[in-house]
Amino acid sequence: MKLPLVLSAVLLIAACGADGEPVRPTATTNINVNPNGVNVGTNVRVGKGPFAVNLGLGL
């Protein structure tokens, strides 16, 4: 559980634009309900030019 929090903190710091203009992160959330239960997935993406960092979490 610590690793996703650390990665999120690093992603947030990188997204604030410490060495240039701020880069806005995008987030998507999916919620699926089926007979087997409820599935939730979240993806956060930060990109600039051809480079991007994605962080996904599914429960």
pLDDT in tens, 1-58: 678 778 777 777 776 656 667 778 889 999 999 998 999 999 898 888 888 888 888 7
Question: What is the pTM assigned to this prediction?
Answer: 0.53
Say what the pLDDT of residue 3 is.
Answer: 81
Q: Let me know the angle formed at the C-alpha of 55 by 12 and 31, rounded to the nearest 5 degrees.
A: 115
Note the Cα 6 to chain centre separation in Å.
Answer: 12
3-state secondary structure of 8: helix
CB 32 within 8 A of CB 39: yes
Say what the pLDDT of residue 19 is.
Answer: 65
Using CA atoms, how far residue 19 sits from 16, 22, 50, in Å, is: 9, 9, 18
